Structure 1
Amino acid sequence: MSQYSFADTLVNSKDNQAQPIERITFGSFDSAEKGWWLMDRSAPTPSEKEITETIPYSQGILDFSTLGIDRFFDNRDITYQFKNIGNRYDERKVIENEIKRMLMPLGTQALFDSHEPGLHWLGKCKSVTVTDDANYQSLTATVIFSCYPFAIGNSAEGSDIWDDVFFPNWVFQDTSFTVNGTQSINLINIGSHTAEVKIVVTGTVSITGDFGSMTLTTGTYTDTQLTLAVGENKLTLNGSGTINFEFYKEVMI
């Protein structure tokens, strides 16, 4: 999702009244349910965490900002502009107080945007600015969230929940396996950088790949040397039992 102008012009008829279609949800705040029309959203790409060194008597600089295939970024600001219309002055003041009260006290958590089905942001509300137009009995709210630089999949890879499928960037794959002897598998990370993996094992299963090898017994593992590079990750399993790899794509949009 890059920076662009947008207006929610679609209308959902409910009790013969126009209802917003485009929405964000954050905590218990649902912009559409609260009568806020989404007019604009902006999500410019985040700035890089640059690490550079200058060597005397050499051309240019040395850039250490990339480790392996990963570039590292600061948080990104995601900005939304909403309108709320058709309320008296006293009602508008209540609505203004409510949006600030519902967004600002919350800590870091998931931010869902109807523009990106199947994905969410992770962040906290940075500011809420509201202006009142008495002539048109309307409020305009500008809401800024400070978010983790990548959008995160709502469901673990391999879940294949139909409503989340986005064919231009999707792969159907198995992430759970029954092991009886030796078998080769291929886990595909369609995200924008390496993915950490939660591994759940019953029995005893050894995993071998480019990372090296390890043997796991019955249990849940969240901190191992196995991370999935972007693209295909070919692994060999050996042993007896079951193993499930749980990971989420993180996408630069």
Structure 2
Amino acid sequence: MRKIDYKFVAVVPSYEKRKSLENTIKRELMMSDFSKLKDSHDKSGYWYAKCESVHVDDVHERNELIISISFVARPFFIIDSDIKQDLWDELWYPDKYEQKLSFNVGYKKSIHIWNGYDKAISPIINFSGSTGSIRYLDQIFPLVKGRNEFFDFQLLKGVNDLELMGHGTFSFRLLGEVMM
């Protein structure tokens, strides 16, 4: 696990409002379980984290609350392929790549999907047809219309060869983990 710390200063003239803000922050953060932690500094993804502690100092002379928040997070930063595919955003990663993730298939089609993340990933597959399947590493994964997820279907790091079978559109969404 990884520890992520934040420190904020809030200027609130009234002691009662400072106390109310302190209680609200503690209640909202400490009662939550693991969830997405989005940081405005890292716009391309999120951490999967849980609040570990909230410490508040009331500096009465300056009408300030100094708020220190600690989160415990999974060690990898999670990036969504829908964001990562845009090569022209304001962030630059040396491993950035562009690839097609939606395929129209009339019967059968062989494709390649690049996993540039730091670990194997389980893609989310949206399928528009009534029945279809994917052949990958000598296994066949049957698809239903709509959203499909398989925890035993993991794209390995690097190039992955897949065969799409069926009639319809196969759309892949990649949620990957990177070490930051």
Same structural fold, with TM-score higher than 0.5 when normalized by the shorter chain: yes
TM-score range, shorter chain: 0.7 to 0.9
Distance 2:143 2:27 in 1: 48
**Structure 1 residue 195: deviation in Å?**
0.6
1:248 matched to 2:175 = yes
Equivalent residue number for residue 122 of structure 1: 48
Equivalent residue number for residue 180 of structure 1: 106
Equivalent residue number for residue 154 of structure 2: 227
Could you tell me whether the CA contact under 8 Å between 1:158 and 1:174 is conserved in 2?
A: no
1:76-104 superposed Cα distances (whole Å, 9 cap, x missing partner): 22111111235243332222222212211
Normalising by structure 2, report the TM-score.
Answer: 0.80
Distance 2:90 2:131 in 1: 33
Residue aligned with 2:97, SS: coil
**Structure 1 residue 159: deviation in Å?**
7.8
| 1:134 aligned to which of 44, 56, 60 | 60
Which one has more relative contact order, counting CA pairs under 8 Å at least 6 apart?
2
- Report which of the two has the higher share of strand: 2
1:144 matched to 2:62 = no
Equivalent residue number for residue 13 of structure 2: 87
**Structure 1 residue 221: deviation in Å?**
2.9
Normalising by structure 1, report the TM-score.
Answer: 0.60
Could you tell me whether the CA contact under 8 Å between 2:84 and 2:96 is conserved in 1?
A: no
Give structure 2 stretches of 5+ with no counterpart: none
**Structure 1 residue 240: deviation in Å?**
3.5
Distance 1:134 1:218 in 2: 61
Distance 2:89 2:27 in 1: 31
Distance 2:42 2:125 in 1: 28
